[in-house]
Amino acid sequence: MKLRILVAAAVLVSGAVHLILWADGIRDISVIGPLFLLNAVAALVIAGAALFWRTWLPLLMAAGFGASTLVAFVISATVGLFGVHESWTGGYVVTANVAELVALVGGCWALYAEGWASTARAHLPHRQAGSARQPGRHAT
């Protein structure tokens, strides 16, 4: 439960930073503005799901949220994203990036700690004994 709280808090912090930046004027940028608002709403939904829905999906969504938001920032800071070139400095940048990294790592860690990773692994098809290819034999 503590990991879920940490993950939910990290997702909420990232969403709050995006909402603050949206209110500070990002909303006027054609594509990025709506995406920042969508990020804030998604953060609220994912954090609520992580706290109240005891399954693996919200944790995976939190990890994906952190990863995708970090990747979008890196793209924006290096080559630009939809015409916006972000810088690597600033309090909001550091806060959001740390929160997204915590959401990514914490979400994966919670998946493992709660046993969801081993449950998923148990459902993977396993090779049966003797089913391996013999050297020199090819499938036709």
pTM of the model: 0.78
**Nearest CA among 90, 69, 88 for reference residue 78:** 88
Residue corresponding to tokens 């993977």: 124
Cβ 42 vs Cβ 64: under 8 Å: no
Three-class SS of 67-105 = HHHHHHHHHHHHCCECCECCCCCCHHHHHHHHHHHHHHH
Residue keyed to tokens 């806060």: 95
Q: Which pLDDT value is given to residue 85?
A: 72
Q: Does the structure show a pLDDT above 90 at 104? A: yes
pLDDT above 80: residue 126: no
Biggest alpha carbon distance in the chain? 67
**pLDDT digit string (tens) for 46-97?**
999 999 998 889 999 999 999 999 998 888 888 878 777 777 677 888 999 8
Distance between CA 63 and CA 2 in Å, rounded? 16
Residue 132: pLDDT over 80: no
